[in-house]
Structure 1
Amino acid sequence: MRKTKLKTRMILTLGFLGAFQTILIGGFAGYYLSDSLYDEIARRALMVAKTVAATPAVINGIRSRDIPDLNRLAARLADTNEALFIVIGDHEAIRLAHPDTSRIGFSMADDDGDDGREALVNGNAYVGRAKGSLGESMRGKAPVKAPDSGDIIGIVSVGYSLDQVDTTIQRYNIVLYSVVGAALLFTILSAIVIAGRFKRAIFGLEPEEIARLFQERDATLQSVREGIIAVNREGIITTANRAAHETLNLSPDESLAGTPLLDILPDSSLMSVLESGQPDFDREIWLRGRQMVVNRLPVRQGNDIIGVVASFRLSNELDQVSRRLTRIQQYADTLRSQTHEYSNKLHTIAGLIQIGAHDEALNLIGSEVSDHQALLHLLLEAVPDPVIAGCLLGKYNRAREMGLRLDIDPDSRMTDIPELLPRDQLVSILGNLIDNALEATRLHSGEGGRVRLSMTDLGEELIFEVEDEGPGVPEEAQRKIFERGVSSKGEDHGIGLHLVQQFLNRWGGSITVENLAEKGSRFTLYLPKRPEERTSL
Structure 2
Amino acid sequence: MILTLGLVSAIQTALIGGFAGYYLSESLYSEIGQRALMVAKTVAATPSIIAGIQQRDTSALNHLARTLAATNEALFIVIGDHQAIRLAHPSPDRIGHSMADDDGDDGHQALIGGQGYIARAVGNLGESMRGKAPVVAPQNGKIIGIVSVGYSVSQVNTTIQRYNFVLYGVVGVMLLISILAAVVIAGRFKQEIFGLEPEEIARLFQERNATLQSVREGIIAIDRDGIVTTVNRTALETLGLGADNQVAGQPILKVLPESDLLSVLQSGSPDFDREVWLRDRQMVVNRIPVWQGDDIIGVVASFRLADELDHVSQQLTRIQQYADALRSQAHEHSNKLHTIAGLIQIGAHSDALSLISREVVDHQTLIHLLLEAVPDPVIAGCLLGKYNRAREMGLHLDIDPDSQMIDIPHNLPRDQLVSVLGNLIDNALEATRKHTGEGGHVVLSMTDLGHELIFEVDDQGPGIDEGARESIFEKGMSSKEDSKDHGFGLYLVRQFLSRWGGSLTVENLSATGSRFTLYLPKTSGQSHGTRSTH
Shorter-chain TM-score: which interval? 0.5 to 0.7
| Shift in CA distance, 36/404, structure 1 to aligned 2, threshold 3 Å | farther
Shift of 1:170: 0.9
Alpha-carbon contact 1:286-1:506 (below 8 Å) kept: no
Partner of 2:330: none
Shift of 1:436: 9.9
Alpha-carbon contact 1:71-1:96 (below 8 Å) kept: yes
| Shift in CA distance, 164/503, structure 1 to aligned 2, threshold 3 Å | farther
Partner of 2:309: 315
Residues 461-489 of structure 1: CA distance to partner in whole angstroms, max 9, x if unpaired? xxxxx9x9999865655665555566789
Consecutive unaligned residues in structure 1, runs of 5 or more = 1-9, 329-338, 347-371, 373-389, 395-400, 407-421, 457-465, 532-537
Partner of 1:262: 253
Helix, strand or coil: the match of 1:315?
A: helix
Partner of 2:135: 144
| Shift in CA distance, 423/285, structure 1 to aligned 2, threshold 3 Å | farther
Alignment of 1:13-24 (within 5 A): 13-24=4-15
Shift of 1:264: 2.0
Partner of 1:179: 170
Helix, strand or coil: the match of 1:254?
A: coil
| Shift in CA distance, 490/402, structure 1 to aligned 2, threshold 3 Å | farther
2:271 is aligned, of 260, 280, 284, to: 280
% identical aligned pairs: 65
Shift of 1:171: 0.7
Residues 347-392 of structure 1: CA distance to partner in whole angstroms, max 9, x if unpaired? xxxxxxxxxxxxxxxxxxxxxxxxx9xxxxxxxxxxxxxxxxx9xx
> Please, which moves more after superposition, 79-88 or 475-484?
475-484
Alpha-carbon contact 1:291-1:315 (below 8 Å) kept: no
- C-alpha distance in 2, partners of 1:227/1:483? 25
Helix, strand or coil: the match of 1:297?
A: strand
2:231 is aligned with 1:237: no
- C-alpha distance in 1, partners of 2:144/2:194? 85
2:47 is aligned with 1:53: no
- C-alpha distance in 2, partners of 1:66/1:510? 137
TM-score for both structures, normalised by structure 2: 0.64
- C-alpha distance in 1, partners of 2:370/2:172? 112
| Shift in CA distance, 491/99, structure 1 to aligned 2, threshold 3 Å | closer
- C-alpha distance in 2, partners of 1:323/1:494? 13
1:217 is aligned, of 182, 203, 208, to: 208
2:144 is aligned with 1:153: yes
Residues 91-110 of structure 1: CA distance to partner in whole angstroms, max 9, x if unpaired? 23333444456655554344
Alpha-carbon contact 2:315-2:415 (below 8 Å) kept: no
Partner of 1:292: 283
Helix, strand or coil: the match of 1:250?
A: coil
Shift of 1:426: 12
Partner of 1:386: none
1:41 is aligned, of 17, 29, 32, to: 32
* Counterpart AA for 2:315: V
Partner of 1:125: 116
Residues 219-270 of structure 1: CA distance to partner in whole angstroms, max 9, x if unpaired? 2222221222222222222222222222222322334332332222111111
Alpha-carbon contact 2:424-2:516 (below 8 Å) kept: no
Partner of 1:249: 240
Helix, strand or coil: the match of 1:136?
A: strand
Partner of 1:169: 160
* Counterpart AA for 1:136: E
Helix, strand or coil: the match of 2:73?
A: coil
- C-alpha distance in 2, partners of 1:111/1:12? 54
- C-alpha distance in 2, partners of 1:345/1:503? 24
TM-score for both structures, normalised by structure 1: 0.63
Alpha-carbon contact 2:318-2:418 (below 8 Å) kept: no
Partner of 2:179: 188
| Shift in CA distance, 504/261, structure 1 to aligned 2, threshold 3 Å | farther
Alignment of 1:94-493 (within 5 A): 94-99=85-90, 104-313=95-304, 314-319=308-313, 321=315, 477=468, 480-481=471-472, 483=474
| Shift in CA distance, 424/317, structure 1 to aligned 2, threshold 3 Å | closer
Alpha-carbon contact 1:144-1:152 (below 8 Å) kept: yes
> Please, which moves more after superposition, 191-200 or 226-235?
191-200
Alpha-carbon contact 1:53-1:155 (below 8 Å) kept: yes
Alpha-carbon contact 1:23-1:180 (below 8 Å) kept: yes
Partner of 1:368: none
2:3 is aligned, of 12, 27, 45, to: 12
- C-alpha distance in 1, partners of 2:288/2:213? 19
Residues 278-313 of structure 1: CA distance to partner in whole angstroms, max 9, x if unpaired? 322333333344443322222233333222222223
